[in-house]
Amino acid sequence: MPRLEIDINKIKHNVTTLKELFAKKGISVTAVIKGVTGSPEIANAILECGISTIAVSLVQNIKRMKESGVKAKFLLTRLPMHTEVADVVKYADISLNSEISTIKLLSEHSLKQGKRHKVVLMLELGDLREGILPGDTDSIIEQIILLKGVELYGIGTNLACFGGVNPSEENMIELSQTAERIQEKYNIKLHMISGGNSANYEWFLHTNNIRNINNLRIGEAILLGRETLHRNKIPKLYTDAFTLICEVIESKLKPSLPYGEICQNAFGDTPEFADIGNINRIIIGIGEQDVDTKAVTPRINAKVIGASSDHLILHSKKHLEVGSEIAFDINYSALLRLSTSPYVKKVFV
């Protein structure tokens, strides 16, 4: 305890459903499993569903999957650091990029390792995380195509991750037209034209012309069954493939209002609480160290009223026994931290 229960069949159902849905308009799915630190068990389950490319953000996670015998094409979602290019070339087949200095280093290290690393060039279309500015496209492509160690495998964009920008008809047309222009001007074939992530779900449903966009990099929709613009459940998908189970370590009827002189709490905040009389205050044995406590919802009639590094406090409708187990639904930031924590046991059910 605590433990993260993983229902691998629900994940497989989600992957298969999404793969078939996107295939209807000719879009392949790259499964992004950085939210579960590239779990080899989950990677293998996804590969069994007919997906061929697995993506994570850390090259260490690709290394771990390879060492566990996972056979896939691996894509690195985070722009490589200069200090890790040798490993990126060694472990990843494809990486997303936006800096020519990094791409040059990837080429150098590929030549040293006798490889040709695949580069997907990311375009900035308004979300203001990674991507080259549209006006720089030609000068960067002209430099990339001279490099012997890398192949310009495709172009892509990433929206709704930082700025919350909607993947719209307009910005998808811009991506698509840029791809077309590059292919014609430089007489090259771009194999991957990658329109985005789980936030592209609504665009996909409503657009009647995906043009040449042929790939999406899907994480949260596979793992948690939701699109990410409004966090709506995607029809037919499971949102409960993951369950957090924790233990009650204190259960008492106590006041709702702290008493004594109020100063700062563990995180430097001065908390305020409403006085609603005595309540069932339940302490759970998990805290900010292992989970984003704002991103968990108990499956019983109780609500989270706060947390410190290692304690989570619930207000429960009814009394709960010390030692009993409580199940929680989790969202993406909770999943990420739970997966990363060595103090949370992962159990496949």
Q: Which positions lie near ligand PLP, rule CB under 6 A? A: 32, 34, 77, 96, 158, 197-198, 217-221, 228
- CA distance linking residue 32 with residue 13, whole number of Å: 16
Q: Looking at the DSSP assignment, which residues form a beta bridge with residue 245?
A: 3, 327
Q: Which is nearer to ligand PLP, 57 or 176 (CB)?
A: 57
Among the listed residues 27, 50, 16, the one whose alpha carbon sits nearest the alpha carbon of residue 156:
27
CB of 92 to ligand PLP, least distance (A): 13
- CA distance linking residue 291 with residue 153, whole number of Å: 37
Q: Which H or E run includes 194?
A: strand 192-194
Beta-strand relationship, 94-97 and 73-76: parallel
CB of 151 to ligand PLP, least distance (A): 19
Q: Which of 12, 19, 34, 118 is catalytic?
A: 34
Q: Is 34 annotated as catalytic?
A: yes
CB of 347 to ligand PLP, least distance (A): 23
How many other C-beta atoms lie within 10 A of the C-beta of residue 240? 14
CB of 74 to ligand PLP, least distance (A): 14
Q: Give how far Cα 223 sits from Cα of 6, 94, 143, 319, Å.
A: 10, 22, 38, 33
Residues in the chain: 349
What tokens were used for 48? 């069994």
Burial class (CB in 10 A: 0-12, 13-18, 19+), 309: exposed
Q: Which is nearer to ligand PLP, 207 or 251 (CB)?
A: 207
- Ranked by CB distance to ligand PLP, the top (closest) residue is 219
- CA distance linking residue 184 with residue 197, whole number of Å: 26
CB of 44 to ligand PLP, least distance (A): 19
Q: Which is nearer to ligand PLP, 36 or 141 (CB)?
A: 36
Contacts of 81 (CB under 8 A, 6+ apart): none
Q: Which is nearer to ligand PLP, 190 or 302 (CB)?
A: 190
Q: Which is nearer to ligand PLP, 96 or 312 (CB)?
A: 96
Do residues 50 and 65 lie in contact, with contact meaning Cβ atoms separated by under 8 Å?
no
Q: Which is nearer to ligand PLP, 123 or 218 (CB)?
A: 218
CB of 197 to ligand PLP, least distance (A): 3
E-strand spans in 256-333?
Answer: 278-284, 296-298, 302-307, 312-316, 325-330
Q: Which residues are part of the catalytic machinery?
A: 34
